[in-house]
């Protein structure tokens, strides 16, 4: 029986790359996201290689999450790896200039959605036991503050602490938990964050070499396939061309 990986936010970026990576290694897939056309296209691309089950899903809706998990057919109902990838950033402006609705959207997606998904799949992961993995996609923003990060960075700090605390609770079950925290990566992330501003997205990635979605997918696969006695608690991944800056100082 093939191992099953459940991927949220599989319609683009890290999630889509992860689906392709795990499929290439023979894992069965459960892929979810909010754009059905993209899920259908990804299933059509991969289904000749491995079993693929897809379902449109907004992880913010707890009832829909629970219904999906409880209704997973064989062989998709024994999930060995959960990749909590669904998430977003909005309003890269100072906190005092942002809309409260954008803050709520980030909290509801990055925190509530991740919690909904994790709680629903814990029974399956614990049943699989030794070697099962939860990979929560955090961010360097959860560790290192910067202007315009406000609620996004705070939500990713939650992801880190939730991962650590979940790891404590799951001690003895064999289930591993990892906070995977990427740095700058060239995906649709910035387009979403800027409300579709292609020029802003292009400018961010110009004349440098960011991480790719495939880089992070490879890291996910590495984490999920380590020997069962090894758990990576936190993996922070930056491109070589990204580093920290000095503290900002306001001067009169």
Give the tens place of pLDDT for each residue, 42-94.
999 999 999 999 999 999 999 999 999 999 999 999 999 999 999 999 999 99
Domains in the chain, please, with CATH? Answer: 4-237 (3.40.50.720)
User: Average pLDDT of 160-168?
Assistant: 98
Q: Which two tokens stand for residue 130?
A: 């030794």
> For the segment 177-198, what is each residue's pLDDT rounded down to a tens digit?
999 999 999 988 777 877 877 8
**What would the pLDDT profile of 5-25 be if each residue is shown by its tens digit?**
999 999 999 999 999 999 999
Name the least confident of 89-93, 134-138, 163-167: 89-93
Give the model's pLDDT for residue 1.
Answer: 62
Residues recognised as catalytic? 152
- Confidence at residue 37, expressed as pLDDT on a 0 to 100 scale: 96
pLDDT of 202 reads 87
């Amino acid at each position: 029986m093939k191992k099953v990986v459940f991927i949220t936010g599989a319609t683009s970026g890290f999630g889509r790359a992860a689906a392709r990576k795990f499929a290439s290694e023979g894992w069965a897939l459960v892929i979810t996201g909010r754009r059905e056309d993209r899920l259908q296209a990804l299933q059509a691309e991969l289904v000749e290689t491995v079993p693929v089950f897809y379902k449109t899903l907004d992880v913010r809706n707890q009832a829909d999450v629970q219904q999906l998990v409880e209704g997973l057919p064989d062989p998709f109902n024994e999930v060995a790896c959960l990749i909590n990838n669904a998430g977003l950033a909005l309003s890269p402006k100072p906190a005092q200039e942002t809309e409260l609705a954008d803050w709520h959207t980030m909290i509801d997606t990055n925190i509530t959605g991740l919690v909904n998904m994790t709680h629903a799949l814990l029974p399956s992961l614990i049943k699989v036991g030794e070697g099962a993995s939860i990979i929560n996609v955090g961010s360097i923003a959860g560790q290192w503050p910067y202007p315009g990060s406000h609620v996004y960075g705070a939500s990713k700090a939650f992801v880190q602490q939730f991962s650590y605390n979940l790891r404590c609770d799951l001690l003895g079950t064999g289930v591993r938990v990892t906070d995977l925290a990427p740095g700058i990566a060239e995906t649709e992330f910035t387009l979403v964050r800027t409300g579709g501003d292609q020029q802003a997205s292009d400018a961010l990635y110009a004349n440098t070499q960011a991480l790719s979605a495939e880089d992070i997918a490879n890291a996910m696969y590495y984490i999920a396939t380590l020997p069962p006695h090894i758990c990576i608690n936190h993996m922070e991944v930056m491109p070589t061309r990204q580093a920290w800056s000095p503290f900002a100082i306001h001067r009169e």
